[in-house]
Amino acid sequence: MSNTKKQFDKTLLTLALTLAVFGLIMIASAGVLYSQTRFEDPNYFIKHQFLFGFIPGLFFLYLFSKIDYHFWKKFSIPFFFASLFALVLVFIPGIGSDIYGASRWINLGSISFQPSEMAKISIILYLAAWLENKGTEKIKDIYEGTIPFLTILAIAGFLIIRQPDTGTLGVIIMIAVSMYFVSGASVGHIFGIFLAGLAGLAALIMIAPYRMNRFLVFLNPEHDPQGVGYQINQALLAIGSGGIFGLGLGHSRQKFNYLPEPVGDSIFAIIGEELGLLGAGIVVIIFVLLTLRILKIAKAAPDNFGRIVAIGVASWIFFQAFVNIAAVTAIMPLTGISLPFISYGGTSLIFLMAAIGLLLNISKQSKI
């Protein structure tokens, strides 16, 4: 346990809890009819998010804030392999569950667990420990740095793309490359990884018809508006009808079984509809402020491990929020990835809150 007497970062905690509490409010608003239709209980989603996401999330936030973050450096290898094992379990009948053609969840009785959320934080901790141990000179070397880095990424990436979950894979790659870059990697190697990533993405789009359809809809939102283009068209309709000030909290029309996944991937569209450009803009600003606060913690971290971990968490929150919002607003193809802290999903919220707790501990031991 940490013996430091320094105060925790109250600004970081306030920003994160603001997003989490706002998420509960929006899930309660957006999920009423969806809950009633699926579970015959208008409060199903808000109750589950509160009981199985927010409350345990607060516990893990507190726990991680009290544990000296250097502990996770020692534990990073078993934690990483445990997350890989969990990613394998989703494919085992009777343990993993297939929903909408995707194997992304483990069912433990009445509790569902999404291993890819655990993979995000475990990869951050493992890579931070690995990159610190390597040192800048070895990281710049293609054989000592780049090839082993890509091997680590390929192992986790293979299991995630098999689910399939292209959005999560993309976020994990962005997290990993950001950490690799700030650790002193060669710019040429980073550029090579970028080009390889684009080629890999193009291949993934071409081999899967549903990905190709999403890409075609991105190029032309009017393409098949009652089929593959339905979700993005309804999302844009929701955002557009909200105007500057919105229709008012609880007054969304699209949540009445028009917009798919109103509490999940599409919740930002409901925010835009009910709270307007002003409300949606404030949410974006809070994400930017949260990212900047984490980067400040990274800059003041007492060692390289803490600095790289903080960069990883900042990348996770920023890139995942960006991808979700960009997809819902048709700036990029639809990906099916959640909005951090806000979308429905207990596993995601728990690990995000744990990451905030980890940052709080780093900030308590900072140099300034």
Q: CA–CA separation, 307 vs 363, rounded Å?
A: 10
Question: Does residue 194 lie in a domain region?
Answer: yes
Q: How confident is the model at residue 206 (pLDDT cuts 50, 70, 90)?
A: confident
Please compute the mean of the pLDDT values over residues 146-168 and round it to a whole number.
90
Nearest to 270 by CA among 288, 286, 257, 285: 257
Please compute the mean of the pLDDT values over residues 148-162 and round it to a whole number.
91
Question: Does residue 311 lie in a domain region?
Answer: yes
Question: Does residue 5 lie in a domain region?
Answer: no
So what's the pLDDT on residue 223?
A: 66
Question: Does residue 74 lie in a domain region?
Answer: yes
With 0.95 as the threshold, say if the pTM is over it. Answer: no
Q: How confident is the model at residue 211 (pLDDT cuts 50, 70, 90)?
A: confident
| pLDDT, mean over the chain | 90
Give the pairing of strands 111-113 and 102-108.
antiparallel
Take residue 324 and report the two structure tokens written for it: 């979700």
**Number of neighbouring beta carbons within 10 Å of residue 138:** 14
Q: How confident is the model at residue 101 (pLDDT cuts 50, 70, 90)?
A: low
CB 152 within 8 A of CB 193: no
List the helix and strand counts (H, then E) for the chain. 14, 3
So what's the pLDDT on residue 5?
A: 57
Please compute the mean of the pLDDT values over residues 333-353 and round it to a whole number.
93
Please compute the mean of the pLDDT values over residues 111-120 and round it to a whole number.
89
Provide the domain limits for residue 258. 10-364
Please compute the mean of the pLDDT values over residues 151-176 and round it to a whole number.
91
Please compute the mean of the pLDDT values over residues 303-312 and round it to a whole number.
96
Higher-scoring residue by pLDDT: 58, 209: 58
What percent of the chain is modeled with pLDDT above 70?
95
So what's the pLDDT on residue 274?
A: 96
Question: Does residue 209 lie in a domain region?
Answer: yes
What's the total number of domains in the chain? Answer: 1
CB 27 within 8 A of CB 45: yes
Q: CA–CA separation, 8 vs 186, rounded Å?
A: 35
Place of tokens 């990533």: 197
Q: Is 95 helix (H, G, I), strand (E, B) or coil?
A: coil
Q: Is pLDDT at 35 greater than 70 in this prediction?
A: yes
Take residue 118 and report the two structure tokens written for it: 């655990």
Please compute the mean of the pLDDT values over residues 360-366 and round it to a whole number.
93
Question: Does residue 233 lie in a domain region?
Answer: yes
CA 102 from chain centre, in angstroms, equals: 18
Question: Does residue 1 lie in a domain region?
Answer: no
Q: How confident is the model at residue 2 (pLDDT cuts 50, 70, 90)?
A: very low
Take residue 253 and report the two structure tokens written for it: 């029309």
Place of tokens 């308590």: 364
Residue 312, sorted as left (phi over 0), alpha (psi -120 to 50) or beta, turns out to be alpha
CA distances from 365 to 45, 69, 71, 103, 232 (A): 38, 9, 14, 40, 45
So what's the pLDDT on residue 137?
A: 84
**Over the stretch 13-32, which tens digit does the pLDDT of each residue have?**
999 999 999 999 999 999 98
Q: Is pLDDT at 4 greater than 60 in this prediction?
A: no
Question: Does residue 257 lie in a domain region?
Answer: yes
